Structure 1
Amino acid sequence: MSARIGVFVIAAALALYIVLVGQRAVLLLMSGDPVGVLMGVALVVLPLIAAWGLARELWFGVRAEQLARRLEGEDALPTEEVGVRPSGRVLREDGDAVFPAYRREVEENPEDWRAWYRLGLAYDAAGDRRRAREAVRRAIRLESVERRAAAGG
């Protein structure tokens, strides 16, 4: 739950930034000064990029959580016992120990979103956040394709 609070606080701060920069952009655009207008245009672009990035990350979080709940409902989440730090993070050596099994599962079933999601969890446990996000993004894409195929589309 604390992660959701953190996401909400960061999203609210970014939304405030977008509003404040947007207001400044409007003032600069209305100034009539060529340099002010150029700066105003630049300030319009920055909040749009920030809003796109925020929406993309929030959607990633929502979809990843949906897949986690689905796997939990199927009783298909990883069950290995691993040590954790007081912060709740998995001990890296324990994450490294379980990683090969999930990598092998993806190699054997490259179109299985469940395998990719579990691999993402293993990458995260091993401390490789970039690859963890890539694996979960792949799981999201594969699950979307599977869901559309099941719906007949």
Structure 2
Amino acid sequence: MRTKLSVVAIAALMVVFAILAIWSAIGFLQAPQLVAKVLGVAVLGIVAVGLWTLWREVRFGLAMEKLGRTLESEGGLPEDDLPRTPAGRIDRTAADAQFQVFRAEAEAAPDDWRSWYRLSLGYDASGDRSRARRAMRDAIRLHADSTR
């Protein structure tokens, strides 16, 4: 719940920033100088990219959460029982061993979103966040394809 509140707060701040930036951009666009007009267009472009990125990340998070709830209701969500250091970090050796199991599962069932979801968790536990996000995107895509 704390994470959701943080996301909502950050999204709200982003929207407030976007409104203020658009207001500023309108002022620049109304100025007679060419440099001001260019600056106004640039500000609008930055705001558009920022809002698109925010929407994309929120949509990704909501889809990931939906798949997690579905997998949990099916009893297919792996338990978070990896050993941790006193600082709370996951033991890398244990995470890598669990990752090998998830990778073999994904290779055996490449069209199953569930195996890609678990593979994403394995990547994340092993510290490879970029591959974890890619695997999760694959899981989301496969789930969407299977529900059509």
What's the TM-score, normalizing by structure 2? Answer: 0.93
Report how many aligned residue pairs link the two structures: 148
Instruction: Tell me the equivalent position of 1:54.
Output: 54
* Contact kept? 1:92, 1:126, Cα under 8 Å: yes
Instruction: Tell me the equivalent position of 2:83.
Output: 83
Instruction: For residues 17-50 of structure 1, give each alpha carbon's deviation from its aligned partner in whole angstroms, at most 9, with x where no partner exists.
Output: 2111111100000112111111111111110110
Whether 2:21 is the aligned partner of 1:21: answer yes
What's the TM-score, normalizing by structure 1? Answer: 0.90
The two structures, once aligned, show a CA RMSD in angstroms of: 1.5
* Contact kept? 1:89, 1:125, Cα under 8 Å: no
Q: Percent identity?
A: 41
Runs of 5+ consecutive residues of structure 1 not aligned to the other structure: 149-153
- How far apart are 1:88 and its partner, in Å? 5.4
Aligned counterparts of 2:10 and 2:89: Cα–Cα separation in 1: 21
Instruction: Tell me the equivalent position of 1:96.
Output: 96
Instruction: Tell me the equivalent position of 1:118.
Output: 118
Instruction: Tell me the equivalent position of 2:71.
Output: 71
Moved more, 93-102 or 62-71: 93-102
- How far apart are 1:81 and its partner, in Å? 2.5
Aligned counterparts of 2:12 and 2:84: Cα–Cα separation in 1: 31
Whether 2:127 is the aligned partner of 1:133: answer no
* Contact kept? 1:120, 1:133, Cα under 8 Å: yes
Aligned counterparts of 2:110 and 2:142: Cα–Cα separation in 1: 10
